[in-house]
Amino acid sequence: MKITSIIGKLTDLDKVSRLIVINGSTHILNAISELNSNNLNLSVPQKHMQILQELVNIKPYISGRDFSGDEGIIRLFEDLFNLKLKICEDYLCVGDEYENTMAELRKVHEDVRHISEDMAERAANIEKLQQYLNNVSYLRNTDLRLEEINNLNFMKFRLLMLSNENFKKLKLNIENVPAIIFQAAVFNGNTVIASITPKSLEEEAERIFISLNYKELELPQEFSGTIEDVINQINAKISNEKRQVEELRESVAEMSRTYSDTVFKAYTLLELEKKAEKLKQETALGSSMFFVFGFVPESEVEGVRIELKQYFGESIIFIADDVEDKRLGNAPPTKMKNISLFKPFESLISMYGMPSYGEKDPTPFFALSYMLMFGAMFGDMGQGLIILLAGLLISYRTANKSFGGILTRLGVSSMIFGALYGSIFGSEELMGALLIRPMANINTMLIGAIVLGIILITISYMYSLLNHYSSGNIEEGLFGREGLTGFLFFLTLVFGALGKATGELTVGIGLPIGIMVVLLLIMVFKQPLAGMLTGRRLYEDSPGDYYIEAGFGVIETILSVASNIISFIRVGAFALNHVGLYIAFAAMAEMLNSKTAGIMVLIIGNIFIIGLEGLIVFIQSLRLEYYELFSKYYSGYGVEYKPVGLFGKGDSGNEMV
């Protein structure tokens, strides 16, 4: 990563921001806060000294642009022409094309506006008619004629909708209501009633209905005849309106051939403009210059430099500096780069946290150990194949490529271990084991798991040492719990216990314990020790606080080193568990008399094992990674590299398979 500064004339700001967006490899920083925090090292050439004067009067970019109107027009065309808008790379350009394109589109919009308004009006009309249809159909089973009930001289006929509770109130007090009420329908907690009121008492009835919070179901005035007739008339009118709408649509289709390219262009430029506007909000403006800062990967820096030079010649100053201050907050963003075998696992890493800049990307180790542990716990040819197929299905049918990718790889690993264990869909009779039968060698499995754990933890310590070495952290690297001292403590414990267990320890148990005590003491005094070596202060805070914390640290170290190792027993235990579950189902299948029923049980059992056991093993492996291993060597404080751009370049979720 390089930190880049782009400085240019205010008049070029629009074009430069478009160029950066189209280029799509700059992770933008807020220029105002960069300038204010003074951690920026502007190595401005002598001839550009006047730039420094610009820095005196810095203000943020205030966007006064509102794209919602333009967006509305484009969306209207999308709807009208039945298009599926997407960004077309051919239309992208750095120049000021946007306004012209929009102006062209607005002119067309003038022409089509009355068509779209007409369509909207007709749609509203159809909705209204459909309501009438619905209302009238409550009277279906009567021989009323619509014009009769609409034109009563002394009575008023209405259809009303009340909530059931309110209808109950009305019913219980019906003797006091100046209206004849018929119940027409009940649905969804509402009751539809027909009410007939003498016109002289209408006001009183209305007040009562208001207190019941009624909703009037309007009857159309413009139709007449029996209810069946009216329904037919309304239906005819609706289909007529629908036909009209169709005709309008067709007339529009003609235009769509001529103008859809313009719509695509406008859409592309609009998206570009919006992104550029967002970028501009992160810039700082002087009285005649602007400043843009961002991180660009080293491989891309030259590309950006050349493009800027092409468009703007010498009028733009482009500086790419090495990042010097890597402390938290200023650290450059991280872009994980892995071969395709490991790539999907990046998503599990970023769930925990991105690697900080300069920290070793744990993905390869994570991916290998994760596949190893999953396979060991869930080794089965058949079930592994199912997981593999599910993974392939997910990666090709859904947008979630990384999860599909992870499943595919885990499936393969499971199949490999299935071959080693000789297991197909749980059954161990179909093939011989290439390596070991877990259930027949319980102790070997459990001890093997512990050995695997010790190896993985050792590799974690290596990673930790490398990370501490590259960050130059003496305190943690040499004397810390995850540093050299911690590693020696771990080794002493392992070999001490091993020697004691096998009886090969000839010097007595006192020596390893003695060594461990010394190592623990070093850990307690890690800060003052590091202080003495580097010549800096002995304690960062008060010594009292420090020793309390360090004291507890000792207890935690002893506990965690032991428990971390033992934790790996679960790898063996779940491998056994996996076989055990199948044995249970197999026993059930045998108990059944019919062969088909037995096969059914085995199928259900396999589904159950893949679903439940698969999930458990997935989580347990993750737990071992996150808790037992990451705590040793991985901080995950980094920031993800997210460049501005139109296609989400660097957005790791989209491109993995």
Stretch that binds another protein, among 67-75, 208-216, 556-564, 618-626 (CB under 8 A): 208-216
C-alpha–C-alpha distance, residues 206 and 456, integer Å: 82
First and final C-alpha spacing in the chain: 26
Q: Does 117 bind another protein (CB under 8 A)?
A: no
> Which residue in 84, 86, 207, 257 binds another protein (CB under 8 A)?
207
State in angstroms the smallest separation of the CB of 233 from another protein: 23
Helix ranges (H only) for 353-504 are: 363-377, 381-397, 401-421, 442-471, 474-479, 484-502
- Tell me the CA distances in angstroms from 614 to 175, 365, 391, 611, 621, one per residue in order: 69, 22, 13, 5, 11
Q: Are 636 and 363 in contact (CB under 8 A)?
A: no
Considering beta carbons, is residue 38 or 176 the nearer one to another protein? 176
Q: Does 215 bind another protein (CB under 8 A)?
A: yes
Considering beta carbons, is residue 208 or 276 the nearer one to another protein? 208
C-alpha–C-alpha distance, residues 455 and 457, integer Å: 5
Considering beta carbons, is residue 160 or 522 the nearer one to another protein? 160
C-alpha–C-alpha distance, residues 446 and 434, integer Å: 19
> Which residue in 104, 204, 241, 277 binds another protein (CB under 8 A)?
204
C-alpha–C-alpha distance, residues 492 and 263, integer Å: 72
State in angstroms the smallest separation of the CB of 178 from another protein: 9
State in angstroms the smallest separation of the CB of 187 from another protein: 14
Q: Does 218 bind another protein (CB under 8 A)?
A: yes
Stretch that binds another protein, among 16-24, 203-211, 241-249, 330-338 (CB under 8 A): 203-211
Considering beta carbons, is residue 172 or 507 the nearer one to another protein? 172
State in angstroms the smallest separation of the CB of 177 from another protein: 7
- For tokens 């909530």, name the residue: 163
Considering beta carbons, is residue 217 or 446 the nearer one to another protein? 217
For 501-562, what is the HEC assignment? HHCCCCCCCHHHHHHHHHHHHHHHCHHHHHHHHHCCCCCCCCHHHHHHHHHHHHHHHHHHHH
State in angstroms the smallest separation of the CB of 267 from another protein: 28
Considering beta carbons, is residue 215 or 623 the nearer one to another protein? 215
Which positions from 410 through 449 interact with another protein, judged by CB under 8 A?
none
**CB-based contacts of 43: which residues, under 8 Å, 6+ apart?**
319, 321
Q: What is the gyration radius of the CA atoms in the chain, in angstroms?
A: 38
**CB-based contacts of 555: which residues, under 8 Å, 6+ apart?**
none
State in angstroms the smallest separation of the CB of 79 from another protein: 23
Q: What is the DSSP letter of 218?
A: -
Stretch that binds another protein, among 23-31, 204-212, 505-513, 531-539 (CB under 8 A): 204-212
Stretch that binds another protein, among 136-144, 205-213, 258-266, 378-386 (CB under 8 A): 205-213
The alpha carbon dihedral of 539, 541, 543, 545 has a sign of negative
State in angstroms the smallest separation of the CB of 531 from another protein: 40
C-alpha–C-alpha distance, residues 580 and 586, integer Å: 10
**CB-based contacts of 450: which residues, under 8 Å, 6+ apart?**
565, 566, 568, 569, 572
Q: Does 211 bind another protein (CB under 8 A)?
A: yes
> Which residue in 49, 62, 210, 501 binds another protein (CB under 8 A)?
210
Considering beta carbons, is residue 215 or 337 the nearer one to another protein? 215
> Which residue in 102, 208, 285, 474 binds another protein (CB under 8 A)?
208
Considering beta carbons, is residue 22 or 192 the nearer one to another protein? 192
Considering beta carbons, is residue 166 or 473 the nearer one to another protein? 166
C-alpha–C-alpha distance, residues 652 and 382, integer Å: 31
The neighbour count for residue 207, using CB atoms within 10 Å, is 9
Considering beta carbons, is residue 171 or 536 the nearer one to another protein? 171
State in angstroms the smallest separation of the CB of 205 from another protein: 9
What is the total count of residues that contact another protein (CB under 8 A)? 21
Name which of 619, 614, 81 is nearest 385 in CA terms: 614
Which positions from 141 through 180 interact with another protein, judged by CB under 8 A?
163, 165-166, 168-170, 172-173, 176-177
> Which residue in 41, 213, 240, 310 binds another protein (CB under 8 A)?
213
State in angstroms the smallest separation of the CB of 192 from another protein: 13
Considering beta carbons, is residue 176 or 258 the nearer one to another protein? 176
Interaction site with another protein (CB under 8 A): 163, 165-166, 168-170, 172-173, 176-177, 204, 207-208, 210-216, 218
